[in-house]
Structure 1
């Protein structure tokens, strides 16, 4: 059985559940399992997963009982009760295919990463595409996925000179993680390719293409397919 999380009160309408202190796939799986359980059993509670913690936002008025404990204390008790006997493996069943044009203008740091890893360009691409990733959390910017599952041989420190603007769709490596820039943003991760898909679209019913807990696979594509998919994404 998993150990109970530590609960911190952030505000009268917010609690933070801490499951650990490190970036660890097993700890992150617990976070997503807890989020799934709480969404199922506590109506009206917003769950925001991070690597090793889970933010809960709620309406205090719905949890206030005259003469009883404060709403956030009452919420804390309900949370702990709901997380009893929490099962493993409660991540999303969705697997999202992300086509990527690697190298060249789309991935200006691919050669440097290959040299750092002592691999060829093609070996880097093959290893990056071979893994199945999990969306550990969304953050930094709306729709930016932090992905766990990177082959350790591809890990590389962030750039010492961050770029002022990284193109939307850029697939990058920072330390032991990989991620995708949803918009043109400043950033210091190593850029190895670019996807034509839109990671964040306010016009969509679900603006973020990827959700915490989703599985992700990368697929290498050529320039022609990139341009075709990019044109479709703009429609």
Structure 2
């Protein structure tokens, strides 16, 4: 982990991958360090905002001594079905790119579904649209490139893969991820507290719906 100043009120922590981001965010939040106002994860960085009056240099030194468990993320389930501390997302597999993903991975469609549902995923960070979560930690065989040509419209609830990530489109929007299924889960709801179903650090497991 590398620490860089971000102006005079924050620090940027550089990470090697999204899994490391999740572990560091969890460790910093649990340490409840004095002088930390906010912790914001991204794909390969963590922004640590300092509270008023905090010596940023001293905070950087303290962060170097935070104990991090590289295999652990902070679970923060919200209003959804939670089973064994995991948020369960039911998916009807059969998306338009499932066959292509099966060929790219060599797993075939059934193998892709088995791999996607066999392991837990973790929310690394949010972005792109309200409620969209970048999930990491799944089967590494599922790492596939984005589509060469993005779709002008992807339906709400579409479940996709791109690079090391899996994600769910919270609303209709353009997108270039490989779509392997759909879910009825509501990813963003302003009447829910918090509105986002999947928050950084949460543990997610996909479950195939039999149709």
What TM-score results when the alignment is normalised by the length of structure 2? 0.83
Between stretches 85-94 and 166-175, larger displacement belongs to 85-94
Which position in structure 2 is the counterpart of 1:97? 88
Gaps (5+ residues) in structure 2? Answer: 76-84
2:185 pairs with one of 197, 208, 219: 197
Contact 1:32 1:90 in 2 (8 A): no
Q: Deviations over 1:149-168 (max 9, x none)?
A: 23232222111110111111
Report 1 or 2 for greater relative contact order, CA contacts < 8 Å, sequence distance ≥ 6: 2
Post-superposition offset of 1:195: 1.1
Post-superposition offset of 1:54: 1.1
Contact 1:31 1:50 in 2 (8 A): no
Post-superposition offset of 1:84: 2.0
Between stretches 47-56 and 77-86, larger displacement belongs to 77-86
Between stretches 121-130 and 151-160, larger displacement belongs to 151-160
Matched, 1:14 2:41: no
The secondary structure found in structure 1 opposite 2:207 is: strand
Q: How far apart, CA to CA, are the structure 2 residues paired with 1:44 and 1:6?
A: 15
1:35 pairs with one of 23, 28, 44: 28
Post-superposition offset of 1:79: 4.5
The secondary structure found in structure 1 opposite 2:17 is: coil
Contact 2:124 2:133 in 1 (8 A): yes
Number of residue pairs the alignment of both structures matches: 201
Gaps (5+ residues) in structure 1? Answer: 64-70, 224-235
| 1:25-174 map, 5 Å | 25=19, 27-37=20-30, 40-42=32-34, 45-58=37-50, 62-63=52-53, 74-81=55-62, 84-88=65-69, 91-93=73-75, 94-103=85-94, 107-174=95-162
Q: How far apart, CA to CA, are the structure 2 residues paired with 1:215 and 1:90?
A: 10
Aligned Cα root-mean-square deviation (Å): 2.3
Q: How far apart, CA to CA, are the structure 2 residues paired with 1:16 and 1:153?
A: 31
Could you say which structure has the higher strand fraction?
A: 2
Q: How far apart, CA to CA, are the structure 2 residues paired with 1:43 and 1:205?
A: 26
Larger Rg, first or second structure (1 or 2): 1
Q: How far apart, CA to CA, are the structure 2 residues paired with 1:90 and 1:125?
A: 25
Q: How far apart, CA to CA, are the structure 2 residues paired with 1:90 and 1:160?
A: 34
Per the alignment, do residues 46 and 191 of structure 1 end up closer, same or farther by CA in structure 2, a change over 3 Å counting? same
